[in-house]
Amino acid sequence: MGSVYTETPTAGPAAPLRAGERAYRQLRGEILDGILPPGTGLLEIEQSARIGVSRTPLRAAIARLIADGLVAGRPGRGFIVTEMNVDSIRELYEVRRALEEHAARIAADRRDPAVFLALRDQFLAAPALLAQGETGLHRYYDLIDEFDDAVAAAVANPFLVGALATVRTHLARIRRLARGNPDRLRSAAAEHLLIIDAIIAGDTSLAAHATHVHLQQSLTNVLAAIQGQPTGPVA
Amino acid sequence: MGSVYTETPTAGPAAPLRAGERAYRQLRGEILDGILPPGTGLLEIEQSARIGVSRTPLRAAIARLIADGLVAGRPGRGFIVTEMNVDSIRELYEVRRALEEHAARIAADRRDPAVFLALRDQFLAAPALLAQGETGLHRYYDLIDEFDDAVAAAVANPFLVGALATVRTHLARIRRLARGNPDRLRSAAAEHLLIIDAIIAGDTSLAAHATHVHLQQSLTNVLAAIQGQPTGPVA
DNA sequence: CGAGCATTCTATGTATACATAGGAGCTTCA
DNA sequence: TGAAGCTCCTATGTATACATAGAATGCTCG
């Protein structure tokens, strides 16, 4: 196994990244992007050869993916990428609703107004962003992430943030299906604005209800998108 | 190393249990029971020698404990049992409230009345149970588990049940601190009865509110118990 | 006597060799 | 021809040897 560090040692943004971490991120990304569709069998030897790490760190990576719920496996019979059907999506949104409503409530109570005022301005500019094509779309998704991060920071609860992170992981797999619906994204931006306004105002109840509405709309849209294309597109 | 299977091959209740699984269960149990108190350093070599497995399955076990949030570790600097202070307890209950309220709501909507009617009878007998000393206490805790399982079965949502399982794991560490308060346990049984009645009646709102009340009472009791004995007793 | 540096030691990270169990496919017998 | 049994093969489970990075400690120099 030749040079593991093909890149210059000083190039990385931080540490050169361990083999197990690399394997985890790559597999996770490929599952989330649909490159490894649900049902795909993950063979240790095959995957370790493909990614370029030995079996030991690859096993660690798969163990983490199992903990994430992205991979399932029976002992002695291999591992497969977990399925993501309509029922799973409904179930996921059920948990998401509980957690995000609670988070919104807490965020409205503990928020730093300045942070959300800045976000408000950015969301006001979202419709213009969405008119800019692919790059604008990317920046819009980054904005959503910023919002989620701001809520997480306001909540300041490792358990809640962790549970939300788990939900968001699975959500990333779903989002791919409903991508590219400008009308929906514009509506979503407006819904986010409502939530942000409620948080700024410190109105816990309104923040929770606005979040509820937003998630219900989101779920409806996702389910409709899936009706359109029964089985997700796969490379 | 010599015979891993000291016991007769046909003795085990099921499969002989893998080394990694054994290590995981033992370490998890010891952390939950406080035998390995927060802050304890888990050295791979030391622990693998103690438990009697090699480093590879022990690493897998520690990886699972990290996913559970029971162990934390900086890469290259070892692993330690996570702390559990008053703030963590408050944060845990915050998430617990969100999840259990939602679960109670759903359970009230989807429940099988017969299951909860049976539980109702058992909880009615709880005060008598609590008068029976240690064995009665044990059976009481089993009854709580039965209730939790019944709610989980009614909810029928793997994501929500999984999130609840995570919370319950950490809760087990806390419960040890507040153990042995008969008055509180009698009150808790009465609170559970209220929740069960609401679920039987299909009253989603009441089930959620009764759960909220119960958890608030539970948190208050736990915090009071900790005030009494600042740092938990350790073997 | 204090601070900086080199050395050593320890614990994790990684790779590989071996053990084992489960399944697929083939052969054989009825 | 079909079904049952056996064999081989493959993939995971486990153990161990080696690489490496970080920290603690002791030494030396100012």
Closest-CA residue to B76 (of B31, B44, B39): B44
What's the pLDDT score for residue A217?
A: 96
How many CB atoms are located within 10 Å of the residue A118 CB?
A: 14
Residue with tokens 């604005």: A193
What's the pLDDT score for residue B132?
A: 84
Contacts of B93 in chain A (CB under 8 A): none
What's the pLDDT score for residue B181?
A: 82
Q: Looking at the DSSP assignment, which residues form a beta bridge with residue A230? A: none
Mean pLDDT of the region B174-202: 91
Mean pLDDT of the region A141-156: 96
Chain A interface, best mutation among B109, B151, B159, by max A CB count within 10 A: B159
CA quadruple A83, A86, A91, A92: dihedral positive or negative?
positive
Q: Is the pLDDT of residue B1 over 60?
A: no
Residues 6+ apart with CB under 8 A from B23: B47, B48, B51, B53, B57, B58, B60, B61
What's the pLDDT score for residue A230?
A: 60
Question: What is the tens place of the pLDDT at every residue in B5-21?
Answer: 333 333 334 456 789 99
* A interface residues, B as partner, C-beta within 8 Å: 18, 56, 59-60, 63-64, 67, 69, 75, 88, 91-92, 94-95, 97-99, 101-102, 106, 157-160, 162-163, 166-167, 170
What's the pLDDT score for residue A8?
A: 33
What's the pLDDT score for residue B15?
A: 53
A232 vs B56 pLDDT, higher one: B56
Report d(CA A95, CA A219) in Å as an integer. Answer: 12
Report d(CA B184, CA A159) in Å as an integer. Answer: 26
Q: Which of A63, A97, A159 sits opposite B63 (nearest CB)?
A: A63
Report d(CA A126, CA B29) in Å as an integer. Answer: 50
Contacts of A67 in chain B (CB under 8 A): 63-64, 67
Q: Which of A18, A63, A159 sits opposite B91 (nearest CB)?
A: A159
* B55 nearest nucleotide via C1' and CA: D15
* B4 nearest nucleotide via C1' and CA: D14
What's the pLDDT score for residue B134?
A: 84
Mean pLDDT of the region B95-111: 97
Report d(CA B32, CA B176) in Å as an integer. Answer: 8
Q: Is the pLDDT of residue A3 over 90?
A: no
Q: Is the pLDDT of residue B187 over 60?
A: yes
A130 vs B229 pLDDT, higher one: A130
CATH architecture classification, B19-81: Orthogonal Bundle (1.10)
Contacts of B60 in chain A (CB under 8 A): 59-60, 63
What's the pLDDT score for residue B17?
A: 77
Closest-CA residue to A195 (of A125, A112, A116, A138): A116
Contacts of the segment A201-204: beta carbons below 8 A, 24+ positions apart: A201/A108, A202/A108, A202/A109, A202/A111, A203/A108, A204/A104, A204/A105, A204/A106, A204/A108, A204/A109
Report d(CA A112, CA A117) in Å as an integer. Answer: 9
What percent of chain B lies above the pLDDT cut of 70? Answer: 89
Question: What is the tens place of the pLDDT at every residue in B208-223?
Answer: 999 999 999 999 999 9
State whether residue B229 is helix, strand or coil: coil
Amino acid identity of B106?
I
State whether residue B79 is helix, strand or coil: strand
Distance B57 CA to C13 C1' (A): 15
Report d(CA A100, CA A195) in Å as an integer. Answer: 11
> DSSP letters along chain A, please?
---S--S-TTTSSSS---HHHHHHHHHHHHHHTTSS-TT-EE-HHHHHHHHT--HHHHHHHHHHHHHHTSEEE-TTS-EEEPP--HHHHHHHHHHHHHHHHHHHHHHHHH--HHHHHHHHHHHHTHHHHHTT-HHHHHHHHHHHHHHHHHHHHHH--HHHHHHHHHHHHHHHHHHTTT---HHHHHHHHHHHHHHHHHHHHT-HHHHHHHHHHHHHHHHHHHHHHHHHSSS----
What's the pLDDT score for residue B130?
A: 86
Distance B30 CA to C18 C1' (A): 32
CB contact under 8 A, B98 and A95: no
Q: Of the ranges A165-174, B9-18, B104-113, which one carries the lowest mean pLDDT score?
A: B9-18
Mean pLDDT of the region B78-86: 91
Question: What is the tens place of the pLDDT at every residue in B132-166?
Answer: 888 888 899 999 999 999 999 999 999 999 999 99
For all residues of chain A together, what is the average pLDDT? 88
How is residue B40 written in tokens?
A: 């304890």
What percent of chain B lies above the pLDDT cut of 90? Answer: 74
What's the pLDDT score for residue B228?
A: 74
Protein residue minimizing CA–C1' distance to D21: B76
Rounded to the nearest angstrom, the minimum Cα separation between A60 and chain B is 7
- Backbone phi and psi for residue A204, each to the nearest 5 degrees, phi listed first: -65, -45
Domain boundaries, chain A: 19-81, 86-228
Report d(CA A97, CA A84) in Å as an integer. Answer: 18
CB contact under 8 A, B91 and A63: no
Q: Is the pLDDT of residue A125 over 70?
A: yes
Q: Which CATH superfamily hosts domain B86-228?
A: GntR ligand-binding domain-like (1.20.120.530)
CA quadruple A129, A130, A131, A137: dihedral positive or negative?
positive
* B59 nearest nucleotide via C1' and CA: C12
Q: Of the ranges A77-86, A164-173, B91-100, which one carries the lowest mean pLDDT score?
A: A77-86
CA within 13 Å, CB half, B15: 7
CA within 13 Å, CB half, B202: 5
Q: Which of B63, B99, B163 sits opposite A60 (nearest CB)?
A: B63
